[in-house]
A and B are shown apart, each in its own frame.
Chain A
Amino acid sequence: MDDNSFDKNGKAGRERRKRNIALALALGGVVILFYLMSIVQWHENTGH
Protein backbone atom coordinates (compact mmCIF):
# COMPACT_ATOMS: atom_id res chain seq x y z
CA MET A 1 0.00 0.00 0.00
CA ASP A 2 1.14 3.54 -0.76
CA ASP A 3 2.78 5.26 2.20
CA ASN A 4 0.88 8.42 1.30
CA SER A 5 -2.38 6.74 2.25
CA PHE A 6 -1.36 7.23 5.89
CA ASP A 7 -0.44 10.88 5.40
CA LYS A 8 -3.28 12.97 6.83
CA ASN A 9 -2.27 16.15 5.01
CA GLY A 10 -1.06 14.51 1.82
CA LYS A 11 -2.98 13.52 -1.29
CA ALA A 12 -4.54 10.52 0.41
CA GLY A 13 -5.77 12.68 3.28
CA ARG A 14 -7.32 15.18 0.85
CA GLU A 15 -9.05 12.39 -1.05
CA ARG A 16 -10.44 10.98 2.20
CA ARG A 17 -11.72 14.43 3.17
CA LYS A 18 -13.39 14.84 -0.23
CA ARG A 19 -14.99 11.40 0.16
CA ASN A 20 -16.32 12.29 3.61
CA ILE A 21 -17.75 15.59 2.35
CA ALA A 22 -19.43 13.80 -0.60
CA LEU A 23 -20.92 11.22 1.79
CA ALA A 24 -22.15 13.95 4.14
CA LEU A 25 -23.72 15.87 1.25
CA ALA A 26 -25.41 12.70 -0.08
CA LEU A 27 -26.81 11.80 3.35
CA GLY A 28 -27.88 15.39 3.93
CA GLY A 29 -29.64 15.33 0.54
CA VAL A 30 -31.49 12.14 1.51
CA VAL A 31 -32.63 13.69 4.81
CA ILE A 32 -33.89 16.85 3.05
CA LEU A 33 -35.62 14.77 0.36
CA PHE A 34 -37.35 12.59 2.97
CA TYR A 35 -38.43 15.69 4.91
CA LEU A 36 -39.84 17.42 1.80
CA MET A 37 -41.53 14.25 0.52
CA SER A 38 -43.15 13.73 3.92
CA ILE A 39 -44.63 17.24 3.67
CA VAL A 40 -45.84 16.56 0.09
CA GLN A 41 -47.50 13.31 1.20
CA TRP A 42 -49.06 14.95 4.23
CA HIS A 43 -50.52 17.68 1.98
CA GLU A 44 -51.85 15.10 -0.50
CA ASN A 45 -53.39 12.94 2.23
CA THR A 46 -55.05 15.81 4.07
CA GLY A 47 -56.10 17.65 0.90
CA HIS A 48 -54.42 20.90 1.91
Chain B
Amino acid sequence: MAVTDTLSFTRVTTVGDFFALLKPRVMSLVVFTGLAGIVVAPGHVHPLTAFTALLCIALAAGASGALNMAYDSDIDRIMTRTATRPIPMGHIVRGDALTFGWAISAMSVATMWLFVNELAAGLLAFTVFFYVVVYTLGLKRRTPQNIVIGGLAGALPPAIGWAAVTGSLSLAPVVMVAIIFMWTPPHFWALSLWRCEDYARAGIPMLPVVKGKRTTRIHIFVYTLLLAPLGIVPAFIGLGGMLYLVLSATMGFWMLLEAFATLREKDEEREPAAKRLFGVSLLYVFVPFLALIAEHLLHLPPLWT
Protein backbone atom coordinates (compact mmCIF):
# COMPACT_ATOMS: atom_id res chain seq x y z
CA MET B 1 0.00 0.00 0.00
CA ALA B 2 1.46 3.37 -1.00
CA VAL B 3 2.05 6.08 1.61
CA THR B 4 -0.36 8.46 -0.14
CA ASP B 5 -3.01 5.76 -0.14
CA THR B 6 -2.62 5.29 3.60
CA LEU B 7 -2.82 8.99 4.29
CA SER B 8 -5.88 9.58 2.15
CA PHE B 9 -7.70 6.51 3.51
CA THR B 10 -9.86 8.19 6.13
CA ARG B 11 -12.70 5.76 6.73
CA VAL B 12 -13.82 2.17 6.29
CA THR B 13 -14.61 1.24 2.68
CA THR B 14 -18.35 0.65 2.33
CA VAL B 15 -20.37 -1.55 -0.01
CA GLY B 16 -21.55 1.68 -1.69
CA ASP B 17 -17.94 2.63 -2.47
CA PHE B 18 -17.36 -0.67 -4.28
CA PHE B 19 -20.67 -0.21 -6.11
CA ALA B 20 -19.64 3.30 -7.21
CA LEU B 21 -16.38 1.81 -8.50
CA LEU B 22 -18.41 -0.24 -10.99
CA LYS B 23 -19.63 2.95 -12.78
CA PRO B 24 -23.30 1.87 -12.50
CA ARG B 25 -24.59 4.38 -15.07
CA VAL B 26 -22.16 3.24 -17.76
CA MET B 27 -22.85 -0.36 -16.75
CA SER B 28 -26.62 0.12 -17.24
CA LEU B 29 -26.11 1.33 -20.83
CA VAL B 30 -23.80 -1.60 -21.59
CA VAL B 31 -26.29 -4.08 -20.08
CA PHE B 32 -29.07 -2.52 -22.15
CA THR B 33 -27.22 -2.83 -25.47
CA GLY B 34 -26.02 -6.33 -24.52
CA LEU B 35 -29.64 -7.28 -23.78
CA ALA B 36 -30.63 -5.95 -27.23
CA GLY B 37 -28.03 -8.28 -28.79
CA ILE B 38 -29.41 -11.26 -26.86
CA VAL B 39 -33.07 -10.50 -27.65
CA VAL B 40 -32.70 -9.81 -31.38
CA ALA B 41 -30.35 -12.73 -32.10
CA PRO B 42 -31.99 -15.63 -33.95
CA GLY B 43 -32.26 -18.93 -32.13
CA HIS B 44 -33.01 -19.89 -28.58
CA VAL B 45 -31.05 -20.27 -25.39
CA HIS B 46 -32.24 -21.26 -21.93
CA PRO B 47 -33.38 -18.12 -20.04
CA LEU B 48 -30.81 -18.86 -17.33
CA THR B 49 -28.03 -18.97 -19.95
CA ALA B 50 -29.21 -15.60 -21.27
CA PHE B 51 -29.24 -14.25 -17.71
CA THR B 52 -25.72 -15.58 -17.10
CA ALA B 53 -24.49 -13.96 -20.31
CA LEU B 54 -26.03 -10.63 -19.31
CA LEU B 55 -24.61 -10.89 -15.79
CA CYS B 56 -21.14 -11.56 -17.20
CA ILE B 57 -21.44 -8.55 -19.54
CA ALA B 58 -22.55 -6.38 -16.58
CA LEU B 59 -19.75 -7.60 -14.29
CA ALA B 60 -17.06 -7.22 -16.96
CA ALA B 61 -18.30 -3.69 -17.72
CA GLY B 62 -18.26 -2.82 -14.02
CA ALA B 63 -14.82 -4.36 -13.54
CA SER B 64 -13.48 -2.39 -16.50
CA GLY B 65 -14.88 0.76 -14.91
CA ALA B 66 -13.15 -0.08 -11.62
CA LEU B 67 -9.83 -0.68 -13.39
CA ASN B 68 -10.24 2.57 -15.33
CA MET B 69 -10.80 4.43 -12.05
CA ALA B 70 -7.76 2.75 -10.50
CA TYR B 71 -5.36 3.48 -13.38
CA ASP B 72 -6.73 7.02 -13.84
CA SER B 73 -6.90 7.95 -10.13
CA ASP B 74 -4.09 10.51 -10.56
CA ILE B 75 -6.00 12.50 -13.18
CA ASP B 76 -9.40 11.87 -11.55
CA ARG B 77 -8.11 13.86 -8.54
CA ILE B 78 -7.46 16.87 -10.79
CA MET B 79 -10.74 16.92 -12.74
CA THR B 80 -13.89 18.42 -11.19
CA ARG B 81 -16.12 15.82 -12.88
CA THR B 82 -14.22 12.87 -11.39
CA ALA B 83 -12.82 14.27 -8.12
CA THR B 84 -15.67 12.73 -6.10
CA ARG B 85 -14.96 9.16 -7.28
CA PRO B 86 -14.11 6.66 -4.49
CA ILE B 87 -10.31 6.58 -5.01
CA PRO B 88 -9.67 10.37 -5.20
CA MET B 89 -11.99 10.78 -2.20
CA GLY B 90 -9.82 8.33 -0.24
CA HIS B 91 -12.68 5.86 0.27
CA ILE B 92 -10.95 2.99 -1.53
CA VAL B 93 -7.25 2.21 -1.79
CA ARG B 94 -6.04 2.02 -5.41
CA GLY B 95 -4.58 -1.46 -4.91
CA ASP B 96 -7.92 -2.77 -3.63
CA ALA B 97 -9.68 -1.34 -6.68
CA LEU B 98 -7.15 -3.06 -8.98
CA THR B 99 -7.61 -6.42 -7.22
CA PHE B 100 -11.40 -6.00 -7.27
CA GLY B 101 -11.41 -5.07 -10.98
CA TRP B 102 -9.08 -7.80 -12.24
CA ALA B 103 -10.74 -10.48 -10.07
CA ILE B 104 -14.23 -9.68 -11.35
CA SER B 105 -12.97 -9.41 -14.95
CA ALA B 106 -11.40 -12.87 -14.74
CA MET B 107 -14.46 -14.34 -13.04
CA SER B 108 -16.93 -12.94 -15.58
CA VAL B 109 -14.88 -14.15 -18.59
CA ALA B 110 -14.39 -17.61 -17.01
CA THR B 111 -18.11 -17.91 -16.23
CA MET B 112 -19.01 -16.87 -19.80
CA TRP B 113 -16.55 -19.50 -21.10
CA LEU B 114 -17.90 -22.26 -18.83
CA PHE B 115 -21.64 -21.72 -19.21
CA VAL B 116 -22.26 -19.72 -22.41
CA ASN B 117 -19.71 -20.19 -25.22
CA GLU B 118 -16.10 -19.54 -26.25
CA LEU B 119 -16.86 -16.77 -28.76
CA ALA B 120 -18.87 -14.72 -26.25
CA ALA B 121 -16.11 -15.23 -23.64
CA GLY B 122 -13.41 -14.25 -26.13
CA LEU B 123 -15.26 -11.09 -27.14
CA LEU B 124 -15.83 -10.23 -23.48
CA ALA B 125 -12.12 -10.67 -22.69
CA PHE B 126 -11.21 -8.57 -25.74
CA THR B 127 -13.61 -5.82 -24.58
CA VAL B 128 -12.02 -5.63 -21.11
CA PHE B 129 -8.51 -5.71 -22.63
CA PHE B 130 -9.39 -3.02 -25.16
CA TYR B 131 -10.99 -0.69 -22.60
CA VAL B 132 -8.38 -1.09 -19.88
CA VAL B 133 -5.11 -1.65 -21.76
CA VAL B 134 -5.66 -0.08 -25.19
CA TYR B 135 -7.90 2.86 -24.17
CA THR B 136 -7.13 3.65 -20.50
CA LEU B 137 -3.41 2.82 -20.42
CA GLY B 138 -2.64 3.50 -24.07
CA LEU B 139 -4.73 5.98 -25.99
CA LYS B 140 -6.38 8.22 -23.41
CA ARG B 141 -3.32 10.30 -22.51
CA ARG B 142 -1.64 10.13 -25.93
CA THR B 143 -4.01 11.08 -28.75
CA PRO B 144 -7.10 13.22 -29.41
CA GLN B 145 -8.49 10.18 -31.25
CA ASN B 146 -8.64 8.37 -27.87
CA ILE B 147 -12.42 8.06 -27.70
CA VAL B 148 -12.81 7.28 -31.41
CA ILE B 149 -10.66 4.13 -31.22
CA GLY B 150 -11.43 3.39 -27.56
CA GLY B 151 -15.14 3.58 -28.35
CA LEU B 152 -14.92 0.07 -29.81
CA ALA B 153 -14.92 -1.37 -26.27
CA GLY B 154 -18.23 0.29 -25.41
CA ALA B 155 -19.70 -0.70 -28.77
CA LEU B 156 -19.11 -4.47 -28.50
CA PRO B 157 -21.80 -5.58 -25.97
CA PRO B 158 -24.54 -6.17 -28.63
CA ALA B 159 -22.11 -8.49 -30.46
CA ILE B 160 -21.32 -10.31 -27.21
CA GLY B 161 -25.05 -10.75 -26.56
CA TRP B 162 -25.60 -11.99 -30.12
CA ALA B 163 -22.65 -14.40 -29.84
CA ALA B 164 -23.98 -15.70 -26.52
CA VAL B 165 -27.16 -16.85 -28.29
CA THR B 166 -25.87 -17.95 -31.70
CA GLY B 167 -22.23 -18.84 -31.05
CA SER B 168 -21.34 -16.85 -34.19
CA LEU B 169 -21.36 -13.34 -35.66
CA SER B 170 -23.01 -11.93 -38.78
CA LEU B 171 -23.80 -8.61 -40.46
CA ALA B 172 -26.57 -7.66 -38.01
CA PRO B 173 -24.44 -7.52 -34.80
CA VAL B 174 -21.63 -5.81 -36.74
CA VAL B 175 -24.10 -3.07 -37.77
CA MET B 176 -25.27 -2.68 -34.15
CA VAL B 177 -21.64 -2.35 -33.05
CA ALA B 178 -20.97 0.15 -35.85
CA ILE B 179 -23.91 2.34 -34.72
CA ILE B 180 -22.60 2.60 -31.13
CA PHE B 181 -19.03 3.03 -32.41
CA MET B 182 -20.11 5.97 -34.59
CA TRP B 183 -22.26 7.40 -31.77
CA THR B 184 -19.43 7.49 -29.21
CA PRO B 185 -17.33 10.41 -30.59
CA PRO B 186 -20.15 13.00 -30.86
CA HIS B 187 -21.41 11.92 -27.42
CA PHE B 188 -18.05 12.39 -25.63
CA TRP B 189 -16.90 15.37 -27.70
CA ALA B 190 -20.13 17.17 -26.75
CA LEU B 191 -19.22 16.57 -23.09
CA SER B 192 -15.63 17.65 -23.65
CA LEU B 193 -16.77 20.99 -25.14
CA TRP B 194 -18.04 22.23 -21.78
CA ARG B 195 -15.48 20.24 -19.74
CA CYS B 196 -12.60 21.45 -21.90
CA GLU B 197 -10.72 23.25 -19.11
CA ASP B 198 -11.07 20.22 -16.84
CA TYR B 199 -9.43 17.96 -19.44
CA ALA B 200 -6.72 20.55 -20.17
CA ARG B 201 -5.87 20.82 -16.45
CA ALA B 202 -5.51 17.04 -16.23
CA GLY B 203 -3.37 16.96 -19.39
CA ILE B 204 -5.76 14.73 -21.35
CA PRO B 205 -5.46 15.49 -25.08
CA MET B 206 -9.18 15.63 -25.86
CA LEU B 207 -10.01 17.07 -29.27
CA PRO B 208 -11.07 20.58 -28.07
CA VAL B 209 -7.90 20.81 -25.95
CA VAL B 210 -5.56 19.87 -28.81
CA LYS B 211 -7.34 21.12 -31.94
CA GLY B 212 -9.71 23.73 -30.51
CA LYS B 213 -13.47 23.96 -30.14
CA ARG B 214 -14.15 24.92 -33.78
CA THR B 215 -12.53 21.72 -35.09
CA THR B 216 -14.39 19.67 -32.46
CA ARG B 217 -17.75 21.13 -33.56
CA ILE B 218 -16.99 20.19 -37.18
CA HIS B 219 -15.94 16.67 -36.13
CA ILE B 220 -19.16 16.27 -34.09
CA PHE B 221 -21.29 17.34 -37.05
CA VAL B 222 -19.50 15.05 -39.54
CA TYR B 223 -19.75 12.01 -37.24
CA THR B 224 -23.45 12.72 -36.61
CA LEU B 225 -23.96 13.09 -40.37
CA LEU B 226 -22.53 9.57 -40.79
CA LEU B 227 -24.40 8.19 -37.77
CA ALA B 228 -27.91 9.27 -38.82
CA PRO B 229 -28.08 7.13 -42.02
CA LEU B 230 -26.15 4.28 -40.36
CA GLY B 231 -28.77 4.22 -37.62
CA ILE B 232 -31.54 3.21 -40.03
CA VAL B 233 -29.55 0.38 -41.68
CA PRO B 234 -30.95 -2.32 -39.30
CA ALA B 235 -34.36 -1.73 -40.90
CA PHE B 236 -32.94 -2.76 -44.31
CA ILE B 237 -31.03 -5.88 -43.27
CA GLY B 238 -33.95 -7.72 -41.69
CA LEU B 239 -33.18 -6.66 -38.14
CA GLY B 240 -35.61 -3.79 -37.47
CA GLY B 241 -39.23 -3.14 -38.44
CA MET B 242 -41.32 -0.04 -39.11
CA LEU B 243 -41.24 1.05 -35.45
CA TYR B 244 -37.45 0.91 -35.44
CA LEU B 245 -37.19 2.77 -38.75
CA VAL B 246 -39.46 5.62 -37.60
CA LEU B 247 -37.82 6.00 -34.19
CA SER B 248 -34.22 5.70 -35.38
CA ALA B 249 -34.85 8.15 -38.26
CA THR B 250 -36.52 10.61 -35.87
CA MET B 251 -33.74 10.33 -33.31
CA GLY B 252 -31.09 10.62 -36.02
CA PHE B 253 -32.73 13.79 -37.36
CA TRP B 254 -33.03 15.23 -33.84
CA MET B 255 -29.37 14.50 -33.09
CA LEU B 256 -28.37 16.05 -36.41
CA LEU B 257 -30.31 19.23 -35.52
CA GLU B 258 -28.52 19.46 -32.16
CA ALA B 259 -25.15 18.76 -33.81
CA PHE B 260 -25.88 21.60 -36.25
CA ALA B 261 -26.81 23.88 -33.32
CA THR B 262 -23.52 22.88 -31.65
CA LEU B 263 -21.68 23.71 -34.88
CA ARG B 264 -23.19 27.22 -34.85
CA GLU B 265 -22.90 27.75 -31.07
CA LYS B 266 -21.47 31.13 -30.04
CA ASP B 267 -21.74 30.76 -26.24
CA GLU B 268 -18.39 29.07 -25.56
CA GLU B 269 -18.71 29.71 -21.84
CA ARG B 270 -21.84 27.64 -21.13
CA GLU B 271 -22.09 25.53 -24.34
CA PRO B 272 -25.92 25.04 -24.12
CA ALA B 273 -26.17 23.31 -27.52
CA ALA B 274 -23.45 20.79 -26.61
CA LYS B 275 -25.27 20.01 -23.36
CA ARG B 276 -28.52 19.42 -25.29
CA LEU B 277 -26.65 17.25 -27.81
CA PHE B 278 -25.20 15.18 -24.96
CA GLY B 279 -28.72 14.57 -23.57
CA VAL B 280 -30.19 13.70 -26.99
CA SER B 281 -27.28 11.36 -27.71
CA LEU B 282 -28.14 9.36 -24.59
CA LEU B 283 -31.70 9.00 -25.91
CA TYR B 284 -30.31 8.10 -29.35
CA VAL B 285 -28.94 4.80 -28.05
CA PHE B 286 -31.83 4.08 -25.72
CA VAL B 287 -34.88 4.69 -27.95
CA PRO B 288 -33.97 2.77 -31.17
CA PHE B 289 -32.49 -0.17 -29.24
CA LEU B 290 -35.64 -0.28 -27.11
CA ALA B 291 -37.67 -0.36 -30.34
CA LEU B 292 -35.57 -3.32 -31.56
CA ILE B 293 -36.17 -5.19 -28.30
CA ALA B 294 -39.92 -4.41 -28.36
CA GLU B 295 -40.30 -5.53 -31.99
CA HIS B 296 -38.63 -8.86 -31.29
CA LEU B 297 -40.52 -9.52 -28.06
CA LEU B 298 -43.84 -8.60 -29.72
CA HIS B 299 -42.92 -10.64 -32.84
CA LEU B 300 -43.46 -7.63 -35.12
CA PRO B 301 -42.20 -8.39 -38.66
CA PRO B 302 -38.95 -6.83 -39.90
CA LEU B 303 -39.29 -4.27 -42.67
CA TRP B 304 -37.00 -6.15 -45.04
CA THR B 305 -36.47 -9.89 -45.14
Given contacts A1-B10, A2-B10, A44-B46, contact A37 B15 (CB under 8 A): no
A residues near B13, Cβ cutoff 8 Å: 15, 19
Query: Are A15 and B14 neighbours in the complex by a CB distance under 8 Å?
Result: yes
Query: Are B49 and A37 neighbours in the complex by a CB distance under 8 Å?
Result: yes
CB closest residue in chain B, given A19: B15
Query: Is the CB of B250 closer than 8 A to any CB of chain A?
Result: no
When chains A and B are docked, how far (Å) is the Cα of A44 from the Cα of B117?
Answer: 14
Which residues A1-28 have CB closer than 8 A to chain B? Answer: 1-2, 4-5, 11-12, 15-16, 18-19, 22
Query: Is the CB of B126 closer than 8 A to any CB of chain A?
Result: no
- For B12, give its contact among A5, A22, A44 (CB under 8 Å): A5
Query: Are A36 and B10 neighbours in the complex by a CB distance under 8 Å?
Result: no
CB closest residue in chain B, given A38: B115
When chains A and B are docked, how far (Å) is the Cα of A2 from the Cα of B11?
Answer: 6
Q: Which of B6, B9, B11 has the most CB of A within 10 A?
A: B11
Interface residue count on the A side (C-beta < 8 Å):
19
Query: Are B14 and A19 neighbours in the complex by a CB distance under 8 Å?
Result: yes
CB closest residue in chain B, given A15: B12
B residues near A1, Cβ cutoff 8 Å: 6, 9-10
- For B49, give its contact among A12, A16, A40 (CB under 8 Å): A40
Query: Is the CB of B73 closer than 8 A to any CB of chain A?
Result: no
B residues near A4, Cβ cutoff 8 Å: 11
B residues near A45, Cβ cutoff 8 Å: none
Query: Are A16 and B48 neighbours in the complex by a CB distance under 8 Å?
Result: no
A residues near B166, Cβ cutoff 8 Å: none
Query: Are B46 and A5 neighbours in the complex by a CB distance under 8 Å?
Result: no
Query: Are A37 and B115 neighbours in the complex by a CB distance under 8 Å?
Result: yes
When chains A and B are docked, how far (Å) is the Cα of A19 from the Cα of B24?
Answer: 18
CB distance from A12 to the nearest CB of B (A): 4
CB closest residue in chain B, given A21: B15
B residues near A19, Cβ cutoff 8 Å: 12-15, 18
CB distance from A13 to the nearest CB of B (A): 9
Query: Are B52 and A37 neighbours in the complex by a CB distance under 8 Å?
Result: yes
Q: Can you name 26 A-B residue pairings with CB atoms under 8 Å?
A: A1-B6, A1-B10, A2-B10, A2-B12, A5-B11, A5-B12, A12-B12, A15-B15, A16-B12, A19-B13, A19-B14, A19-B15, A19-B18, A22-B15, A30-B107, A33-B52, A33-B111, A36-B48, A37-B48, A37-B49, A37-B52, A37-B114, A37-B115, A40-B46, A40-B49, A41-B115
